[in-house]
């Protein structure tokens, strides 16, 4: 969906910010507040009325996380806006600094073949047939409030690669478990080359990491890619904010994408003279063809009699991972959440532990630490 401004540049002196927050919560809106001061912008992200993340970005590009639960305006000399976006665009915003890049970095780019909506609203077999008939080049993405959960890449309407939990599946049947009421789905059409690049990112290899101060200096890197006839992704982080990706196939430039907040577009970003920016050059082995794969989506709700219990040691490891990523307050939060949910460390069902992990993930305000916790927890359970 297109970004919709529900409020735009209202004076902080003239509005009650708390009432605006309450309205978003009551209406269960998905989007973000932009609170602007002379020297920085604060962003607070809401998913279905729940605050999930906040960040403060200075004019020089410095980034600091915000305590969204206890946010107070820095002064009345500023403005506030609220933009309603899809859940996918919201996660695109939150995860824009994900490094090294993976297929999720490019989610929301392309023409919307199917706009973001609840999985329960979709006839998935009909959708997959439509993708096939349209000879679609692009991808399907699934997400929940905690983040992107699955991607399927398409070449000429056929599924060629699945990406989930840092794992690429190619050429074999893929069964994807979904939460019909909690998961959202979208499909995007792109240039034919992009799904081939995304499906080949398991071969990603960092060649160079360095800084640059001008487009001319970056041009030297592009020339090296051309001279070496590399298939590569040039990942550019700009000091004043924004991220840019350039795709090369055997030394030839193919595509440039700019990532600004919740949007990824086919365009360039201005490199301010004299700023100290960073780039990463990744090579990869891009396959031109892939075998078609069969994809099945299913829901699985275990009955109480089928429930299995997790070893107590695993539960305690999840606790230690949580405290490692959120800090000493994690011990108190752990006890509070277990008490509220009626869970026991000694006897916890597998499905309850998965729900607990999602709740703990949402409690960690720093997205990098939250992602690290989720990765460790998932690895423990696989």
Q: What is the mean pLDDT of the chain?
A: 92
Lowest-pLDDT range of 15-24, 62-71, 127-136, 304-313: 304-313
Q: What is the pLDDT of residue 319?
A: 92
- Residue 146 reports pLDDT greater than 90: no
Q: What is the pLDDT of residue 116?
A: 97
Question: How far apart, in Å, are the Cα atoms of 41 and each of 16, 38, 61, 63?
Answer: 18, 8, 10, 10
Q: What is the pLDDT of residue 1?
A: 65
Q: How far apart are CA 368 and CA 156, in angstroms?
A: 35
Q: What is the pLDDT of residue 367?
A: 79
Q: Quick one: average pLDDT of 94-109?
A: 94
pLDDT digits (tens, 9 = 90+) for 165-176: 889 999 999 999
Q: How far apart are CA 300 and CA 89, in angstroms?
A: 27
Comparing 362 with 317, which gets the higher pLDDT? 317
Q: How far apart are CA 277 and CA 194, in angstroms?
A: 25
pLDDT digits (tens, 9 = 90+) for 274-324: 899 999 999 999 999 999 999 999 886 545 545 578 888 899 999 999 999
Comparing 97 with 40, which gets the higher pLDDT? 40
Q: What is the pLDDT of residue 249?
A: 97
Q: What is the pLDDT of residue 100?
A: 93
Q: pTM value?
A: 0.80
Q: Quick one: average pLDDT of 113-117?
A: 96
Band of pLDDT at residue 366, cut at 50, 70 and 90: confident
């Amino acid at each position: 969906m297109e970004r919709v401004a529900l409020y735009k540049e209202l004076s902080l002196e003239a509005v009650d910010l708390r009432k605006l927050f309450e309205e978003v919560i009551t209406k269960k809106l998905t989007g973000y507040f932009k609170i602007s001061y002379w020297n920085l912008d604060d962003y607070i992200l809401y998913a279905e009325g729940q605050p999930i993340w906040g960040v403060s970005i200075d004019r020089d590009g410095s980034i600091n996380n915000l305590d969204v639960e206890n946010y107070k305006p820095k002064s009345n000399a500023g403005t506030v806006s609220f933009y309603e976006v899809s859940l996918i665009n919201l996660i695109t915003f939150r995860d824009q600094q994900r490094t090294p890049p993976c297929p999720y970095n490019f989610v929301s780019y392309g023409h919307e073949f199917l706009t973001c909506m609840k999985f329960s609203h979709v006839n998935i077999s009909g959708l997959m047939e439509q993708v096939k008939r349209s000879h679609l080049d692009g991808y399907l993405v699934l997400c929940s409030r905690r983040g992107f959960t699955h991607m399927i890449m398409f070449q000429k309407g056929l599924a060629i690669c699945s990406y989930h939990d840092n794992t690429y599946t190619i050429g074999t049947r893929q069964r994807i478990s979904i939460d019909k009421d909690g998961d959202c789905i979208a499909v995007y059409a792109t240039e034919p080359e992009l799904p081939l690049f995304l499906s080949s990112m398991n071969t990603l290899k960092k060649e160079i990491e360095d800084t640059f101060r001008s487009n001319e200096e970056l041009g030297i890197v592009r020339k090296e890619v051309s001279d070496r006839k590399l298939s590569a992704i040039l990942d550019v982080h700009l000091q004043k904010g924004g991220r840019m990706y350039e795709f090369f196939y055997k030394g030839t430039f193919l595509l440039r994408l700019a990532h600004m907040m919740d949007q990824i577009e086919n365009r360039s970003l201005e490199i301010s003279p004299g700023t100290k920016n960073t780039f990463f050059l990744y090579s990869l082995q891009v396959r031109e063809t892939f075998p078609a794969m069969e994809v099945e989506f299913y829901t699985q709700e275990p009955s109480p009699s089928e429930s299995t219990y997790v070893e107590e040691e695993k539960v305690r490891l999840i606790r230690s991972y949580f405290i490692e990523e959120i800090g000493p307050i994690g011990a108190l939060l752990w006890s509070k959440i277990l008490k509220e949910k009626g869970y026991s460390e000694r006897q916890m069902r597998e499905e309850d532990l998965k729900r607990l992990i999602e709740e703990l993930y949402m409690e960690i305000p720093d997205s990098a630490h939250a992602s690290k916790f989720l990765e460790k927890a998932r690895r423990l359970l696989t």
